[in-house]
Amino acid sequence: MSDLFTQIILDEAKNPAHYGTLTGDHLKTAKYNPSCGDMIQIALRIDDQKQILADLKWTGQGCSISMAAMSLLSQEIIGKPITQILQLTHQEMLGFLDLESIAPGRLKCMMIGLTAVQNLLSENQKK
């Protein structure tokens, strides 16, 4: 527990990667964590031919865990196949954050970004 605020997490939360908005055609979504007030807005573009995530930008407000998790996630998934992104779980998220485990109360913080991205991608697949 005492090691939750690692340097990686503090740095990523302070200077998040791919933070911002996309211009031109793109898909977007917003996800709230109603118990703590975290909010993440995702904008992404899919390369339909290659079936990969071509680009992603995000903005949000929340705790250091949710911000760092989204920042690290964005660095991992841009350019990756959609099917692969849809298969990511909290295990991979722990890996991105370089944590062995996370308290149940912080799981939602860690997962808010991934859940938003996956929801958006799977909704798009249904279309």
Partner 1 sequence: MSYKQDFPIFTTYPQLAYLDNSATTQKPQVVLDAMNNYYATSCANVHRGVHLLSDLSTTAFDQSKGKIATFFGAKNHELIITRNATEALNGIAYGWASHNLQADDVILVSLMEHHANIVPWQELSKRNHTKLIFINLTADGQIDLADFEDKLSTFKEKIKLVSLIHVSNTLGTLNPIGEIVTLIKKHKINCRIAIDGAQSAPHLKINFSKMGVDFYAFSGHKMLGPMGVGGLLVKEELLQSEEMKPWLFGGGMIESVYQDQTIFNSDLSERFVAGTPDVASVVGLAAACDYLDNIGMDKIESHERQLTTYALQELSKIPEIKIIGPLDPEKRLSSVAFIYDGVHAHDVAQVLNQDEVAVRSGHHCTMPLHLSCGWVATVRASFSVYSTTEDIDKLILALKKVKTIFK
Residue of 37, 48, 83, 95 interacting with partner 1 (CB under 8 A): 37
Give every CB contact of residue 79 below 8 A, 6+ residues apart in sequence.
52, 53, 54
- Segment contacting partner 1 by CB under 8 A, of 1-9, 21-29, 51-59, 92-100: 1-9
Asked if residues 80 and 53 have their Cβ atoms less than 8 Å apart, the reply is yes
- Give the Cα separation of 107 and 37 in Å (integer): 14
CA angle (104, 109, 113) in 5-degree steps: 135
- Residue 106 as a binder of partner 1 (CB under 8 A): the answer is yes
Residue of 42, 43, 46, 65 interacting with partner 1 (CB under 8 A): 65
Residue of 22, 36, 52, 54 interacting with partner 1 (CB under 8 A): 36
Helix/strand/coil for 98: coil
CB of 80 to partner 1, least distance (A): 29
- Residue 10 as a binder of partner 1 (CB under 8 A): the answer is yes
- Give the Cα separation of 55 and 80 in Å (integer): 10
Helix/strand/coil for 50: coil
Q: How many residues bind partner 1 (CB under 8 A)?
A: 18
CB of 11 to partner 1, least distance (A): 11
> Which positions lie near partner 1, rule CB under 8 A?
1-2, 4-5, 10, 34-39, 61-65, 106, 109
